[in-house]
Chain A
Amino acid sequence: MLECHWSVEIYNRLKAARVRQVAYVPDAGHAQLIELFKADPEIASTVLTTEEEGIAIAAGAWLGGDRSVLLMQSSGVGNCINMLSLAVIARFPLLILVTMRGEWAEFNPWQVPMGLATETCLAAVGVRCLRADAPEPLVETVMAAAKLAYEADQQIAVIIGQRMIGEKKW
C-alpha cells in the first residue's frame, strides 16, 4: 500500500497548507488522492473535461483567495500549453502534480511521445519541473513546490515518475 501512503501524506500536507480547491481529470495514478479530496467537504473538487480548464480554475481560485492544486497525467500536459500563458504572465501561483506515462515499463506506444515531451514542454512555456521517483522525496518535493507556488508566485509541476506508480495492470 505504498501508493496509499503517499497519497494520504500529500493530502494531509496540502490540506495543512490551506489548499481549498482541487481540479482533476480522472487518472489511475492520482486515484486515491482524488478520492481523498472529493471526500473532504472543505475542498471544492472540480472534475474537468480537459486539463487546461484547470489552469483557468487555479487562476480564478487565486483571484478569490483560494490556494488550489491541479492533478493530471503527462498526456494532459500537452493540452495545457497555451493556457499556461495565463499562469506565467500573471504570475498566478500554480501547483500541478503530473503522473508520468510513457517512460517506465509502458505498454502503450501512444503514451510515449507526450511522455517524452512533458518536461520539455513545461519548461519551454515557463513552468518549472521538480521530479520525484520515490514516495519519500515526492512528499518533500510537493511541499517545496507548494511553497514556491503559493508564497513565491511560481508555476511548478511536480513530475511523479512512472516507476513509482507502477505498471498498468490489465
Chain B
Amino acid sequence: MVSGVSGAQSALGRRVAVAELLKDRGDLLVVSGLGSPSYDVHAAGDHPGNYYLWGAMGSAALIGLGLAQACPQRKVAVITGDGEQLMGLGGLATIAVARPKNLDVVVIDNGRYGETGMQLSHTGFTIDLARIAAACGFVDVRTIDTLSAVSQLRQDLHREAAGPRFFVLKVAPETVERSLPFRDAVHGKNRFRAHLGLPVS
C-alpha cells in the first residue's frame, strides 16, 4: 500500500508533527537519527525509552531493527531525517527482508541537510524515499503533509502491523531552535536498558 502527496512544498511544521506523533506514546520505543530529528524527539519530551543519535549517520533504522528483533512484544519507531536515511538506503532492503512486524520508520523529510547549511538532499531534488521503501516491500508506505494525517498515523503506530512500515512526513524547510538531548551515548544506553528492566553494566 502506497499513498501520498506530491507537488507543492509542505507547510507542516516538524516540531508540531513529531510532538503529535509522540503524544500519549505509551510503551513506544524510539530511536532518533542524528541532527534535527533527535532535537525534534527531545523537544517533544525527554523519555527513557528514547535513544538519541548524535552520529553514526545511516544507522538509525537498523538500530531500530536490532531493537525490534530483541523486543518483539514492543513497538519500535525510528524517527530520522531524509539525509540520514539516504545514507542507509541499503538498510531498507535489509529491514524489508528481515520483516519485523513491530518496526516503523518515520522520515522527517525537509529535502535539506539542516546541520550543514540547508543544502538540498536527494529528496530535495527528485528522489522519493517512499517509493524506494515500497519497492523494497514495506507493507504500509505513506507520504504525509498534514497534521490530521499525522494524528491518524499516531494511532496506527500503536496498532498491529503485518510487517515493517515506512512513513515520510513532508515538512517545511524551516530552521527551528535546537532542543539538545545529552550527548553521552553510554548514559543513553544504560538509561534505555534500565527502562526495559535490563541489567546495566
Contact = CB atoms under 8 A, between A and B. Distances in A.
B98 interface: yes
A47 B59 CA distance: 15
B94 A53 contact: yes
Given A57-B65, A63-B193, A65-B193, A21 B70 contact: yes
Contact of B58 (A52, A60, A68, A92): A52
Interface in B61-106: 62-71, 74, 88, 90-91, 93-94, 97-98
B132 to A, nearest CB: 13
Contact of B55 (A57, A62, A85, A151): A85
B94 A63 contact: no
Interface in B149-201: 185-186, 188-189, 192-193, 196, 198, 201
A46 interface: yes
B57 interface: yes
B133 interface: no
Contacts of B97: 47
Contacts of B67: 60-61, 63-64
22 contacts: A44-B69, A46-B94, A52-B58, A53-B62, A53-B94, A55-B56, A56-B88, A57-B63, A57-B66, A57-B69, A59-B66, A60-B67, A61-B70, A63-B70, A64-B70, A65-B70, A86-B55, A86-B56, A90-B186, A91-B186, A91-B189, A153-B201
A82 interface: yes
Given A21-B69, A58-B66, A89-B185, A50 B56 contact: no
Contacts of A90: 185-186, 188-189
A84 B127 CA distance: 28
A83 B59 contact: yes
Contacts of A86: 53, 55-56, 59, 63, 185
Nearest to A151: B201
Contacts of B188: 90
B59 A61 contact: no
Nearest to A59: B63
A48 interface: yes
The listed residue with most A CB atoms (<10 A of its CB), out of B65, B69, B94, is B69
Contacts of A61: 66-67, 69-70
A3 to B, nearest CB: 27
B13 to A, nearest CB: 29
A61 B173 CA distance: 34
B26 to A, nearest CB: 17
Given A21-B70, A61-B66, A89-B55, A49 B193 contact: no
A55 B186 CA distance: 16
A120 to B, nearest CB: 21
Contact of B63 (A48, A56, A82): A56
A113 to B, nearest CB: 23
B51 interface: yes
A68 to B, nearest CB: 7
B31 interface: yes
Interface in B94-120: 94, 97-98
A64 B189 contact: no
A115 B33 CA distance: 32
A30 interface: no
